[in-house]
Structure 1
Amino acid sequence: MPADADGGDLVELPHDEAELTPAEAEEISEYGNIPITGPGHDAGPDHGGMDITPDTAAPPPGATPDGDAGALPGGEDRRDGPAADPEHAPDAAPAPDHGGMDVTPGTSGPARDAGPDHGGMDVTPAPVPDPRSGPTPGAVIAAPGHDRAAADADPARHAGPVPTAPATPAPGTDDGPGLPGALVAAPLLAAGLLGALGRTRRNALWQTAAGALRRGAGDDLEPRDGAGRDARDALLAGADPSAVAFLDRALRRLSADLDTAGRSLPVVYAAWLGEEELHLQLAEPAGIPPAPWQLGQSDSYWTLERYRLDAVRDVPADAEAPYPGLVSLGTRDDIRLLLNLEAVPGLVSVLGAPADREAVLSSIAAELATSGWADRMTVSLVGFAADLTALAPTRVRHLEDIAGLLEVMETETRLRHGNLQHTGQDSVLRGRTGPARGHQWAPHLVVVGVTPSAEEADRLGALASVSAPLGIGYLVTSDRPDLPGLAWEFRISADGRLTEPDMGLQLAAQLLPDHERATVVRMFAALGEQDTSEDAVAAPPFLVDLGAGGKPEVYAEIMGGYTLTGLADPDPERAPLLREALAVLLLRRSGVHRRVLAAALWPRGVTDEVRDAFVVRLGEWLGIENATGRPRLSAGADGRLVLSERVVSDWDVLRTLHHGAVAAPGPGPHPADRRRRLTDALSLARGPLLDGQRESGRFEWLRHEVIDAQYPLLVAEVALALSGAHREAGEGEPAYLAVRTALGAAPADERLWNELLRAAHATGRSEWLTGAAQWLTAHHGQLFGVDRPLPAETEALLDELLPTWRQVVAAG
């Protein structure tokens, strides 16, 4: 630990131990072993029954058995640096020990007149430790190969680049419209927001199908304003789903293996996520980790290389998410720091200008709301960002002020403490593995966006000082240093640098500024808004000219496979990428940003030069229109890449026919012409979208689209309209066949099940109705299990059309 470090337990990045002489190591060891005394504080605070302080008799983090600290890989030898001498520590305000509070559940102590309950626990201020006695043993957050002295001299170089909006490209190399830089620079946050946006869009589609929203099944549910389109493109370009999957799978694998071995999860203060590895810094040594995890360069670090995880078996389906409180703070030297807010032994505060503080807190709140490495969790936002509840209404709640929060949290603290005592656990973390897993051990993370008063700060500090074992974490904005109960104090600068001076930490902060947050929230909120305008059912972004003059020059069949007509076969080694790029453009007819195209084709990244050369090659392959000589691939008015109207897919035709025959306002075509269009549309649904293409590991970008949910809904609407038209014309058998065809694309659509029964009844053939009832009950059992009853509406329809259906099914 550096001589100038003081405060609560600190966090250290792997590979950051300095090489010391034996004499220096001994001096540091003695420095850390001075006990802190005080009433009820002989051996450090209890913190709710969990020892959060590393053994003071152990060597300092990173020390080898002989007392020498490990060398710094790739870093400078710092053995000639100043010794960790408390006599030479800089003058500073005394730092609190784990928040400066003596926290002993169930004991008595000085009480204020009519003071707060603090969750039924006696929380009394402890004497402020003497700074000359040294800080509580801990570790320091610093980047791998980080030289503390060099970082202090030039923090900008070591912290890495601060996220900024992309520079204006030079003429001839137009990168398309500028994208919000903060979203592009936050890959885990962007991935979480993108996943949540996809779920919200699919939910809006299902509400549309149920009649709860006045939209059409053909609506892409894309943002309709330029800022929204730029924000969504920034999410698509910046998201790193593979990093989220690696983090989630690695942590769940660890949880499952420790559970199998009968071991508890170790307390983790921080994680450092790189391109190919994940480092967990433990609060104290916890033995040898289960494979494929390995010890890091000291016994306080567990490290996992990505290729080792890829080589092991799949993660059990019931594996717990062990550290849902991990959240990104920023980056240093291309490695991302995630603080485990749930495990912090006290308050975490953020100082700086109000707008900058709120940008930090908004980023943290949004990532917690949408993170992919968490299961159950509650996130409480206090006094700011009420709009962020739209991101995850079941996970995020908003409170107006700290007074309301204190009332809630003092009660919850008492209840959680009692629950731990009842189950015999010393912390929520211990209960996530082993026989207590059946209990609710979900964390509650509190982000306070208003500055607390002195009294509120005292009460918050008292609660935070006992929160770590209870699975509760507190992050507070502040305009004053040294809040009561403080564990870590960060400062955000106007240029986007996040620092913690006591730890020598310099980060390029992850931010979500107010205007970008508002744009993201509008995207979510708009999906649930009821459009009352007459043209609420929007037309698809591209409608095919179905007349003789609109015959396509390039035709792609993507429903049931992927075949192309009208294009020369590209070179075999380039064909997969070119065909996938064309699929991206076909499914985003409103235009594709170059950076979005690159993210889809090269999820692990690619240079601008390679991307631009590929776009040129793609344009050459697509060629020019025969009639006009215009290129079939061009940049639209907003700079996004768009296809010519002469390049058409069967999906485009299906949507055009659906819109004209089902969704378009007005009287519509003649009944006979309508039935013909609906029949043509249904004939296009030959099988799953891009069948046989996804098994190669490509087309992963489809997870961010709604087409997999939209396709069966569109087919179902076509079949329902066609079947209804046939039944009105007294044509039962064509109606029945139309529904059976659609069930191939939409097998779980209850509307088709009911229409199948009506169509079978309309044939007048009892064996068709009996066969439909038998097939439907068997099909339902295959999808949902034989013990789950049929939907109530389906059962009622069977009772009406075939009163003996239960006997028929039982006999069949």
Structure 2
Amino acid sequence: MSTFVRLLRALLGLAVLAALIAGIPLVLLAVGHQPTDLVGGWDLLTGQDDGSLFFTVLTTIGWIGWAAFTFSALVEIVALFRGRKAKRIKGLGGLQGFAGLLIGGLVLISPTAASAATTGPAVAATAVQTAGASAAAAPTAAAASEQDAWPTHTVTGDSELPWDLAEQYLGSGPRWKDIAALNPSVPQLAAGDQFLPKGAVVRLPADANIAKPATQTPAPAQATPETAPPAQQTRPADTKPAPAQAEHVTVKAGESLWTIADDHGDPEDWPAIFEANKGNPLPGGGTFDDPDLIVPGQELTIPAAAAPAPAPDSRPAPDTKTPPKPDTAKDTPTPAAPTPAKPATPAPAASTPSTAPTTAAPAPSQDGQKTDTAQQAQDPDETLAPAAVWMGAGALAAALIGTLATRRILQQRRRRPGRRIPMPTGSAAATEQGLRSAQHPTGFDLLDAALRTLALNLAAAERDLPVVTAVVLHEQKVELHLDQDTAPMKPFSGTAGRTDLWTCPASSPDLADRDALQGADAPYPALVSLGWDGAGRLVLVDLEHVGVLHLDGDADHARHVLQAIAVELASTPLPGHLEITALADTAFGLDEAAPERVARTDDLADAVAELTSHTADQRRALAALGAPTLRAARLQEDAGGSWTPHILLAAELPDGDQTEALLDLITAQPRVAGAVVAAGENADLDPEEGWTLTCAGPDETIVLPGSGLPIKLQGLTDQHFADAIELLTLSAADTDVPARDEWLDGLLDSDEQPDAKENQDQEEADEEDPTDETGEVEAPRPEAGADEDGMPDEYADIEREELETEHQADTDTEAGETDGGPAVFPVEASEDQTEHGTSGPTLAHLFDPPAVPAAAPATAEQEPAPEPALLLTKQGDPTEIRPEVEKPVPGPLPSADPVPAHVPVPAPTRAADDADGPEGGAPMVLLLGRVVIEGAAGRIDSNRQSAAVELISYLALNPGADHHAIDDALWPGRLVNKQMRNAVISRTRSWLGKDAEGEAYFPRVQDTGDSRYRLAQAVTCDWKAFQNFARTGLARHDEDGELALRRALALVRGRPFAAIDPQRYAWAEPAVQEMVSAIADVAYELSTRRREAADYAGALWAAHQGLLAAEENEMLHRQVFLAHHAAGDVEALREAAARLARINEGLGGGVDMEAETAQLLRTLLPRTTAAR
């Protein structure tokens, strides 16, 4: 059935439904005889009827029929919104079925309309292939029958729709097309809006969520979707035939004829590919006669006319080709990147030796980057952007970033005034940026809360912890896979009638509150992520349950997986203490980077002796408690702290008695809190006593024992492991370092930017001509599921050429309010670094001010189009500030005035947060708190605002950036073409608007003088103003100097880049740390000056402003203590000390007060005298 016919049927159904529900009452009221019109009582039945009674009865029957139909329709509508199949109501079968048919047709309006709007062929139906643990299963899988290759569903009702099946088994109604692609013999499925015939057996995709796998059999050699072999071959990009030869490709999930033709030369050649393959058999049955329907696993012949020329050997210069043809494929990382795509469905009857690839091939990069696909696929670590190799490693990234954040806070606590904490450079800095863009920390907060709540409820019910074989982290829920059927316990519930699969949504009202959670230990402290499933969801396992985890297969990949496990265990985001022993050179350097958790021994005998003592102690404790298992003992109130897991990491275990003794310790009953993770071959490792995972490669899928989940193992290459060790070691350093010279004037000169001259012409060409040969702006097809500001949904409606953007300001949607104010646009920021540097002062320079305090010193190395003096005002001396963001600064108290018993602290204001923006002024970039852009005169869609604000913030700190730097900052690890980049740039320019002279606040790249991206000089930034005020104030010890310091601190609204999305602003971490250090130094200086002048209120205000940015800084807390003591306010001093103690308790599980702080409090606080 054609798309037009489906749409027509849906619209006709809507008309019929409206006529029946709304039209019938109107007709009955207009021409019917209502029961209320009858008079005469019993005489109406005994006397002669003049027709009134008859018509009244007919009208009444009509009302009853209308009510029954309306009620049936409401039942169907409610069921639709709840995502469930409506219950059958006795007596209303026909009416309810008719209502369901009409409403089911309406459901198809949205997908049908979307399909009708697509001019190119439809994307291949998505289906998931689950791969086996080893290649040994390949022969049996090939011999498996088509019947055994798929889960099935038998239609039992009269009103089941394809949409219903997709909702029930796949969790998404639009995926009914996936089911239809597997069942060409069921025409009702292909139609989409017809009831399925009763008794029909419908094949489902392999990822269908069913209570028990429909094809599960006890025969171990029988191939099922859970044990299908992994794909053996992908379409190699570096071995394409010459143009005169035909080529054969295998369709992957998410592809279309358009994208395949684009991969092979020109997307407009897709009709030739269709004609060359028309009539060929399809996987699962049927023939290929519809270009809108291709299925994963389908073999296509690419005719010679569509095949491209051989790829050149060297990588072309970026963005040097003419504008490419439209590319509707997804803009995804290369296949070697850990970002998973849904595996493709294998062809059950495939005759070729290759099967469908397990990952979707990437869309070719526009801007002439197609030729490096093969190189990237073969050597991802060398060719991908630094962030790309981290995609999918969310748990590992979150663990490392969380540890770095805590350690840097501790470094800021002990940093000396005028110094800085050490920050990474080079490869380690790039790795940190990749980590920040890949982390997924929110799921671990939910997992921790759900598991602790479960422990509390199980303890109250006197039940043991269940055995968990796997944990899957979804976006908004946690999924537990258990080893056996177990009655669910809140906050978890069973799923799809199963009691061995528990889920807990983030919105569950059964989650315990924070105070209650403090009373529960982590019930599964040895959880560690192994990889991700086909949908990109993290999969974790409990090493205590596994006992012995053997990583077999490829030696290099096994070592990489072991290194990833080691780093995550050493810095896990889940609470709970672990003891880790690394054997010999395993995870070398981890013991120095994380000495609180990791120890190292070179002798296996020593490791066995230590583990022997550990297991003996725990088994004695189990006997003393009378607990039969570790799972029962963990929930007893007096068992806290007794069950710390001890995990041995071994890159290689030698054969012999020591290894046998080690394995016996771990596997003996009752099991204790211990595990062994080993790589390499070893005859003593019995697969029956643990798990053996075959590490075939980063792109290969394995089946997880116990749960049967297909996953891809995450690994950490040797280079990235070394970078992770360097990051952990650097963040644990006790010493601070001098401030770097490049922070002196805030910005790097444009001449220092790499390849300035080389890229100048290309930058201009990129912005001058964002059109194709026909003059039409190229519009990449949006990627399904991308975030609202990420690739590529951000560019779904790409704008016209830059000169046309001025005419679109009036037609854009009004920007949405995100923080309560009409002109305040806070952004979700993230903390990381870019190699181009960011701005910030050093105290060495601040104490050595320029000759003219009002402006930064002019040097021969300044940029061709320099920024103005670092002020919020366009011109004037450094004490001037716009009234819209000015904060009240407390005046000094005369030293001769008596000091009150309690000195009030001037409350810091948030003028910049509450202001409506400068009237008639240029935009302001506010970074010292929540990221806010004030004064933007244009408009922008609220769902596209975040990318624009991040771009403005980046350019405010990095003027003169080229397009490569912007790509790396905003979209780390992604392949970005100029249309995508220019879409954000165009919208940002239109949003910032123009000044009174008509000059854009975000100039076109052709107008900047050096073909670099920068904001206009009129656009101001609070961080630059802070630098200038601080430079002046620290250099002058008079009233003007102190006023400048006050003005600097008045700009602080909170921690720089506060309330950020952890996955955004991956470039900003060095700037954040510099800002925090500078704010603390200025606050310390001003607080000291005001206290020495007996202005205790001013001293307290200065210290508190600094604590807004760094509440953990004990240097500032000591200033607060001294000010309260000098004012004679002992009670306030005690309150301040208690506040510091609470802050320290929340840092990394609790830290001690610095010795200097403790000594100061002992000196200042009066000692209590014991009563005689």
Provide the TM-score with structure 2 as the length reference.
0.48
Is 1:333 matched with 2:697?
no
The answer as to 2:551 corresponding to 1:190 is no
- Please give the alpha-carbon distance, in whole angstroms, between the structure 2 residues aligned to 1:269 and 1:155: 34
State the one-letter code of the partner of 2:617: L
Aligned to 2:1054: 688
The correspondence for 2:503, drawn from 297, 300, 304, is 304
Shift of 1:713: 5.5
Q: Find the residue that maps to 2:642 and give its secondary structure.
A: coil
1:434, CA displacement in angstroms? 3.3
Q: Distance in 1 between matches of 2:952 and 2:990?
A: 16
Residues 721 and 291 (structure 1), Cα distance of their counterparts in 2 relative to 1, 3 Å cut: closer
CA contact (8 A) 1:19 1:71 kept: yes
Letter in 1 for 2:1047: D
Match of 2:568 among 358, 367, 381: 367
Correspondent of 1:570 among 927, 933, 939: 939
1:770 aligns with 2:1128: yes
SS at match of 1:272: strand
Report the equivalent of 2:1026: 654
Secondary structure of 2:415 counterpart: helix
Go from structure 1 to structure 2 and tell me whether the alpha carbon gap of 1:237 and 1:156 turns closer, same or farther (over 3 Å shift).
farther
Confirm or deny: 8 A CA contact 2:925 2:956 kept in the other structure.
no
| Alignment: residue pair count | 659
Q: CA deviation at 1:265?
A: 0.7
Cα distance, 1:362 vs. partner?
0.7
Structure 1's 74 and 196: CA in aligned 2 closer, same or farther, altered over 3 A?
same
- With over 3 angstroms needed to count, the CA separation of the structure-2 counterparts of 1:775 and 1:278, relative to structure 1, is closer
Q: In structure 2, do the counterparts of structure 1 residues 372 and 502 end up closer, same or farther at CA, with 3 Å as the change threshold?
A: closer
Counterpart AA for 1:512: L
Contact 2:395 2:439 (8 Å CA) reproduced:
yes
Deviation at 1:715, TM superposition (A): 3.8
Q: 1:270 to 1:673 in 2, by over 3 A?
A: same
Q: Provide Cα deviations, 1:120-143, integer angstroms capped at 9, x if missing partner.
A: xxxxxxxxxxxxxxxxxxxxxxx9
- Contact 1:155–1:506 under 8 Å retained in 2: no
Letter in 1 for 2:550: S
Alignment partner of 1:517 is 2:721: yes
What residue in structure 2 maps to residue 733 of structure 1?
1094
* CA separation of 1:441 and 1:652: change in aligned 2, threshold 3 A: farther
Q: Root-mean-square deviation (CA), in Å?
A: 5.5
Structure 2 counterpart SS, 1:507: strand
Identify the residue that residue 614 of structure 2 maps to in structure 1.
Answer: 412
SS at match of 1:232: helix
Unaligned runs of 5+ in 1: 7-15, 22-69, 90-142, 663-667, 762-767
Q: Of 982, 987, 1000, which aligns to 1:617? A: 987
- TM alignment of 1:266-665, pairs within 5 A: 266-295=466-495, 297-299=497-499, 301-304=500-503, 306=505, 308-309=507-508, 314=513, 316-318=516-518, 319-334=520-535, 335-344=537-546, 346-383=547-584, 384-389=586-591, 392-466=594-668, 469-480=671-682, 483-484=685-686, 486-494=689-697, 496-497=699-700, 499=702, 507-529=711-733, 539=743, 541-543=838-840, 546-547=854-855, 549-550=868-869, 554-559=923-928, 564=933, 567-571=936-940, 573=942, 577=946, 580-581=949-950, 585=954, 589=958, 594=967, 597=970, 613-622=983-992, 631=1002, 647-655=1019-1027, 657-658=1029-1030
> Shift of the alpha carbon at 1:304?
1.1
Structure-1 separation of matches of 2:642 and 2:352: 47
Structure 2 residue matching 1:288: 3-state secondary structure: coil
- Aligned partners of 2:693, 2:347: CA distance in 1, in Å? 19
SS of 1:469's partner is coil
Aligned partner letter, 2:432: R
**Cα gap change, 1:449/1:586 in structure 2, threshold over 3 Å: closer, same or farther?**
same
Deviation at residue 419 of structure 1 after TM alignment: 1.4
Conserved? CA contact 1:679–1:722, under 8 Å: yes
Residue 450 (structure 1) shift: 2.0
Is contact 1:369-1:396 (8 Å) kept?
yes
Q: Which residue pairs with 2:1083 in the alignment?
A: 719
| Corresponding residue number in structure 1 for 2:778 | none
Secondary structure in 2 matching 1:328: strand
Q: Which residue of 1 aligns with 2:385?
A: 178
Greater displacement, 789-798 / 548-557:
789-798
Contact map agreement 1:17 1:71 (CA 8 A) in 2: no
In the alignment, the residues of structure 1 paired with residue 1073 and residue 926 of structure 2 have an alpha-carbon distance, to the nearest angstrom, of: 18
Structure 1 residue 158, shift from structure 2 partner: 7.9
Query: SS at the partner of 2:470?
Result: strand
- Range with greater deviation from structure 2 (674-683 or 198-207): 674-683
State yes or no: 1:208 paired with 2:415.
yes
Other-structure match for 1:122: none
**Partner amino acid for 1:542?**
S
**What secondary structure, in the 3-state scheme, does the structure 2 residue paired with 1:733 have?**
coil
Q: Give the distance between the partners of 2:1076 and 2:576, measured in 1 at CA.
A: 29
Deviations 1:641-674 (A, max 9, x none): 8767764422333245546766xxxxx6677775
CA gap of 1:330–1:672, structure 2 versus 1, over 3 A, is same
Q: Distance in 2 between matches of 1:388 and 1:478?
A: 20
**Offset of 1:525 from its aligned partner?**
2.1
Change (3 A) 1:568 1:262: same
CA distance in 2, matches of 1:159, 1:247: 32
Q: Is the 8 A contact 1:237 1:596 kept in 2?
A: no
Q: Which whole-Å deviations, capped at 9, do the CAs of 1:76-134 have from their partners, x for residues lacking one?
A: 99999796358999xxxxxxxxxxxxxxxxxxxxxxxxxxxxxxxxxxxxxxxxxxxxx
The AA in structure 1 aligned to 2:451 is: L
Q: For residues 427 and 502 of structure 1, do their structure 2 counterparts lie closer, same or farther at Cα, with a shift above 3 Å needed?
A: closer
Q: Is the 8 A contact 1:271 1:339 kept in 2?
A: yes
Write the distance in 1 (CA, Å) between the matches of 2:411 and 2:1162. Answer: 32
What residue number does 2:359 align with? 161
In the TM superposition, what is the alpha-carbon distance from 1:281 to its structure 2 partner? 2.3
Counterpart in the other structure of 2:162:
none
Within 1, Cα distance between the matches of 2:214 and 2:1128? Answer: 89
Q: CA deviation at 1:259?
A: 2.4
Contact 1:720 1:739 survives alignment (8 Å): no
Deviation at 1:236, TM superposition (A): 1.8
Q: Secondary structure at the match of 2:678?
A: strand
CA distance in 2 between partners of 1:230 and 1:406 (Å): 39
In 1, the alpha carbon distance for the partners of 2:458 and 2:385 equals 46
Q: Of residues 208, 218, 231 in structure 2, which corresponds to 1:84?
A: 218
How far off its partner does 1:513 sit? Answer: 0.7
Provide the secondary structure at the position in 1 that maps to 2:1128.
helix
- Judge conservation of contact 2:530–2:539 (CA < 8 Å) in 1: yes
Q: SS at 1:309's partner residue? A: coil
C-alpha separation between the residues in 2 aligned to 1:151 and 1:431?
52
Deviations 1:15-36 (A, max 9, x none): x997899xxxxxxxxxxxxxxx
CA contact (8 A) 1:233 1:593 kept: no
* Secondary structure, counterpart of 1:170 in structure 2: coil
Q: Cα distance, 1:369 vs. partner?
A: 2.2
Identity rate, percent = 21
> 1-side partners of 2:967 and 2:413: how far apart?
31
The one-letter code sitting in structure 2 at the alignment partner of 1:491 is T
Shift of 1:323: 1.9
Q: One-letter code of the match for 2:625?
A: T
Q: Distance in 2 between matches of 1:159 and 1:437?
A: 50
Equivalent in 678, 693, 697 of residue 1045 of structure 2: 678
Higher relative contact order (CA 8 A, sep 6+): 1
CA distance in 2, matches of 1:522, 1:702: 22
